[in-house]
Structure 1
Amino acid sequence: MKGDSKMGDFEILGIPVSLGTMIYQALIFTILVFLIKKFVMSRLIAVLEKRKTYIGKQLMLAELYKQEAEQKLLEQNGLVAQARQEARKIRSKSEEEARALFEKTRLEAREIIHNAKDDARRIHPGHNEHWGA
């Protein structure tokens, strides 16, 4: 041991260290660790476990909601496809009905013109060249 014994019982790296102070600090440290372990750690672990459980439940709910959303999306896509198919059918039927109505109207117009020419020939028998006979 170097130097005066009043400053410390021994030196570590040139620093005087008192054995009594080291024992006292070790005892205080041990008591502090024990108190932290007994009172703080148990509560901290309980809080962390509760948080872990909560997060686990939230993740399960999120997965459930994701699956429900995917199912709803599939249903919605099916409904959209069905609506498009129905719209195509309606459009096709409407176009067909429009063509039929147009053809019917055209035939009726020809018949009206033909009847009008016949009526004109009967009323004015001498003017047949004007009626496109």
Structure 2
Amino acid sequence: MLLRCSSVCLPVTESPAAPLASAEILETLRSRWQASYDLQLTSRRGRLYLQVMWAYLEQQSFPLDADQYVAKLDELVATLNGLGVAGQVREWLTTTHDKPRLGKAMTLPLELPEGRASEFLL
């Protein structure tokens, strides 16, 4: 099955509810925007957000090497799976019309399943 996204067709190999994998996220980033963008989880005003930052692994000035980047991505993916938001993240990354731009992060407000927010937000 193919998913159409702003003139790019990406294969959908997992059901929306399936856990995310670091390799899947990395492949999606590279397929959509030809770069391994930095991802961050942030909390503001009691809400949790996933951000695609403008810095990317292939930049000479990127502060992480490839192994550190993969380790950070693995940790983030484990957290997203623990939050139960894999489907939201997968859908957003493959369908958003935005693209990372210098100085402006792309932001996904995460809709956490009932009871999960209190475990992650202090």
TM over 0.5, shorter chain: no
**Which is richer in helix?**
1
Structure having the higher strand fraction is 2
Q: Work out which of the two has the higher radius of gyration on C-alpha atoms and give 1 or 2.
A: 1
Instruction: Report the TM-score when normalising by structure 1.
Output: 0.18
Higher relative contact order (CA 8 A, sep 6+): 2
Query: TM-score, structure 2 length as denominator?
Result: 0.19
